[in-house]
Amino acid sequence: MRRVACLAILLLALVGGLILWSRAQRPPSEPPAPTPPRAQNAPESPASQRITIYLARELPRGTQGEFVLSPVEREVAATAAPTMASLEALAAGPTPAEESEGFRATLPEGTRVLGVEREGGVVTANFSRELRDNFNGGADWEEIVLYSIVNTLTELEGVDSVRLTVEGAPIESIGGHLSAEEPLRRNSEIVVRGKRGE
Amino acid sequence: MSKGGAVTTARCPFRYALLVWCLVLHTGSLLAAPKAPEVYIGSKVAPCAPSPILQDGEVYLPVTFRYAGLPVTVFAEGETVVVRGPGQLEGCLPALQHQGTLYYPVNRACAALRLSARWDEKANRLSIAPRVDAIRPEMFDRLMTLRILAGYPLTARLELERNPGQLIIEIAEAHLFNDSTLIPVNQGGITRIRATQVSYQPCLVRITVEAEAMPQYRALSARATTEICLRLGVPENNTPEAYTVLDRLLDAPGSELTGLAVTGIDVGTSEEGNPLVVVRTNGPAQAKVLRLGSPPRVALDIENATIQAQAPAVPPHTPLVQRVRLGQFTEKVARVVVDLVEEAECVLTQGHEPGTLVLTLRSALSRVQVTGLKGLKVMVDPGHGGSLSGTTGLSGRREQDINLDIAKRLYRLLEAAGAKPTMTRYGDDTVGLRARPAMANSQGVHIFISIHCNANGRPNSARGIETYYCHQHSYRLARTLHYRLVKELGAPDRQVRRRPGLVVTRETKMPSVLLEIGYMNHREEDRLLGTPEYRQRAARAIFNGIAEYVGASTTAAPVAAEEAALAVEELEDAVVIEEGEAAATVEEQEGQ
Ligand SMILES: [Zn+2]
């Protein structure tokens, strides 16, 4: 009996060692890419298009409550205007499954997308007043909110920069830390910043 | 007794397991582990432990790696890696953590530092070297001035070839900006310039000037210089007379130099503790001092001199001096630039040795330090206010009110210590985001402190202090205030963060910080921020930090009875500051 136990443990140790060893040889890997939610039973058809939006995601390790921007994919009707569809998907926030993976909505509660205009490479996104009035956050959270909009829109072909308006009027800032007066370009640093915590 | 025996036998299989496990690990790594890549700086191996790692086809170096022989420093700043080279070269890179060490992408680091990194997968070798950035030929009257530019001093070896006519310029310990380049010229007998990377190991760049006959040249600067400069030409025909004409052209005025050279630069500290920059030349030298602002720096122009020295390393803990760089400002003026941490006064004197110039620096703030905080102009910026609301705490308290209360308490402490505080708002007023730094700049304050409270995307997920800054000259202030707050409030340290986008810290010309004193969407911190005692402690911590920053002693300062009373008073009536003063300031700004 004792010998059997001995052998079993030896075997376990061997397998465990091998697994650990093979892991040690691999460079650190990216976090598993979040799987895009797909409409049930809907085969890939030309009736839909895929868009990428940037949501806030809490880093699983490191300092608590640290957020970065992380891309997720959405499938929308092929006929939808991609700029508007992207912003509406952003306003809808994460799916329950994504939420359990640490994703969070970025647009303040009640924020509605009133419209999008495009002129050359510049997109003007017009939001309801809740974008500013319901914003709750410090300097870094404002950066997350602002660039979730900018990075989502600049993900689209030919969009270089994004101008924000609230009820049609230009705004100085969303939350009082960062300027939103000028059209903003993409900020990739806030996305890769997540790699630090991995 | 029997109990003990049972324990011993039960351990036996574990011992075996451990042994086998160790064996597997050991032999495994001996047999199959890939060899660690080698890192070369120029043609020399540079030790790199831990080894570089590869991810997504990019090579990452550990933050501990040293660029032997190159004036490059690398350090972690929070969770990013900052790389710094000579001159203004600097990069701030995303880092990744692997087995307890920070790694950064070497390609991006090198791009920021005017270096080149080549990863040779077959040879399992990473080569890093100064990059030849540009090859600039300029024709004038049959003569060519050829400039070869790099961020680091390079030395060229020159050789003439008769058949076919060529000038060969070999630069060791450098990489070309690409593998090979061809510049057509077809003027003055010069056909073209061809540049190639002969090899990465050893590290050699060859630039060939191809001509119709054997060219003649003068090397204006070719040794240990960031700008190799040659003047060359080709005779009109292959006669001795044509060569004489060419020689005369090459030696014409404009190409002659006085022979004066900057031969060395050192950074030291005087007996009084003031930083010194010592410039050595090979003859009596004339120099002019220029003080330049934002970022603060001092330039020393040495006339009729060339540079034959390298930028010196600044010894750690040298006050005021951030770095020293040098360059040929014009063909005749060598310029030494001292980048300062903050504004400083400077005096230039002749050193004891002939040809030596000594620049002595003294902090512009140090005159204030002598009398403690007296006269120190501090602008306190309570974040948000009026219709520009900040965050709302879990308890319903508004950030703008908490900010204002802490700011007023800080104002009181500063005023009592003889400093000259001002505020961007004195009540619940609407003051634009850009108007705040504009006030500080126009009033010429010494330091700017923006007071905020924090919130993020998930209640109760975060608590603690975050301190933000933008420009390098604000880092010491940020660090000092941050650690005071962390220590005196006993709050978690959420790091000093460099963020380029924050308006108030970006637009202010003096050292400036934005403090996020706790999370209002964290139950416990929100409760603490709601108590006057905690806000008074926060103000006291910032005050102590400012005193530490300007070198004033505060340890002896007891908490005054008045302050103890303040600590328990409530928001609105805690501190009354003349409203008239505030209104005037705001109007003045809006009028601009
Ligand atoms: Zn704030």
Encode pLDDT of B276-314 as tens digits. 899 988 877 878 888 877 678 888 888 888 888 888 888
Across the interface, do A197 and B79 touch by the CB < 8 Å criterion? Answer: yes
Give dist(CA B280, CA B277) in Å, integer: 10
Give domain B377-591's CATH architecture: 3-Layer(aba) Sandwich (3.40)
Q: Which residue of A has its CA nearest to B501?
A: A178
Ramachandran quadrant class, B247 (left: phi over 0; alpha: psi -120 to 50; beta: rest): alpha
Q: Which residues of chain A are modeled with pLDDT < 50?
A: 1, 4, 6-7, 10-44, 194-198
Chain B CB within 8 Å of residue A33 CB: no
| B220 SS3 class | strand
The mean pLDDT value of chain B amounts to 82
Portions of chain B given CATH number 2.60.40.3500: 131-258, 260-367
Residue of higher predicted confidence among B362 and B193: B193
Q: Cα(first)–Cα(last) distance of chain B, in Å?
A: 91
- What is residue B96's predicted lDDT score, i.e. its pLDDT? 87
Residue of higher predicted confidence among A6 and B209: B209
- What is residue A128's predicted lDDT score, i.e. its pLDDT? 96
DSSP state of B122: T
pLDDT of B168 strictly over 70: yes
List the CATH code of the domain at B131-258: 2.60.40.3500
Half-sphere exposure of B28 (CA within 13 A, CB side): 17
Give dist(CA B176, CA B125) in Å, integer: 18
Angle ∠(B161,B166,B167) on CA atoms, nearest 5: 90
- Smallest Cβ–Cβ distance between B21 and the set A13, A67, A139 belongs to A13
pLDDT of B461 strictly over 80: yes
Single out the residue of B345, B301, B312 nearest to residue B87, CA to CA: B312
CA of B562 to the centre of ligand 1 (A): 29
Residue of higher predicted confidence among B174 and B36: B174
CA of B452 to the centre of ligand 1 (A): 4
Q: Provide mean pLDDT across the span B133-152.
A: 85
DSSP state of A104: E
Q: In this structure, which CATH number among 3.30.70.260, 3.40.50.20, 1.50.10.10, 2.60.40.3500 belongs to the domain B260-367?
A: 2.60.40.3500
Give dist(CA B547, CA B399) in Å, integer: 26
Across the interface, do A139 and B521 touch by the CB < 8 Å criterion? Answer: no
Q: Cα(first)–Cα(last) distance of chain A, in Å?
A: 44
Poorest-confidence range of A131-135, B82-86, B247-251? Answer: B247-251
Which residues touch A136 (CB under 8 Å, ≥6 apart)?
A108, B391, B392, B455, B521
* Run of H or E including B226: strand B225-233
Ramachandran quadrant class, B24 (left: phi over 0; alpha: psi -120 to 50; beta: rest): alpha
- What is residue B432's predicted lDDT score, i.e. its pLDDT? 94
Give dist(CA B440, CA B421) in Å, integer: 11
pLDDT of B240 strictly over 70: yes
**Which residue reads 């080698």 in tokens?**
B38
pLDDT of B255 strictly over 60: no
- What is residue A192's predicted lDDT score, i.e. its pLDDT? 65
Residue B253: is the preceding peptide bond cis (ω within 30°)?
Answer: no
pLDDT of B184 strictly over 70: yes
Give dist(CA B468, CA B41) in Å, integer: 35
pLDDT of B510 strictly over 80: yes
Encode pLDDT of B94-140 as tens digits. 888 888 889 999 988 988 888 999 988 888 899 999 999 889 888 77
Encode pLDDT of B553-589 as tens digits. 554 344 555 565 666 565 454 344 443 343 333 333 3
Q: Which residue of B has its CA nearest to A136?
A: B391
Domain boundaries, chain A: 48-185
Encode pLDDT of B431-450 as tens digits. 999 999 999 999 989 999 99
Give dist(CA B109, CA B61) in Å, integer: 10
Q: Which two tokens stand for residue B226?
A: 């960031």
- What is residue B193's predicted lDDT score, i.e. its pLDDT? 94
Taken in order A178, A180, A185, A191, is the CA torsion positive or negative? positive
Poorest-confidence range of A2-11, B219-228, B356-365, B480-489? Answer: A2-11
- What is residue B87's predicted lDDT score, i.e. its pLDDT? 75
- What is residue A169's predicted lDDT score, i.e. its pLDDT? 95
Give dist(CA B86, CA B112) in Å, integer: 11
Length of chain B: 592
Half-sphere exposure of B542 (CA within 13 A, CB side): 33
| Residues of B in Cβ contact (< 8 Å) with A101 | none
Helices and strands, number each (H, E), in chain A: 6, 8
> B148-161 burial, b if ≥16 CB within 10 A, otherwise e?
bbbbbbbebeeeee
- Label residue B366 by pLDDT band (50, 70, 90): very low
- What is residue B511's predicted lDDT score, i.e. its pLDDT? 92
Angle ∠(B526,B528,B533) on CA atoms, nearest 5: 145
> β-strand A122-127 against B333-340: which pairing, if any?
unpaired
Residue ranges of A 56-95 with Cβ closer than 8 A to chain B = 56, 58, 62-67
- Residue A91: beta bridge partners? none
pLDDT of B11 strictly over 60: no
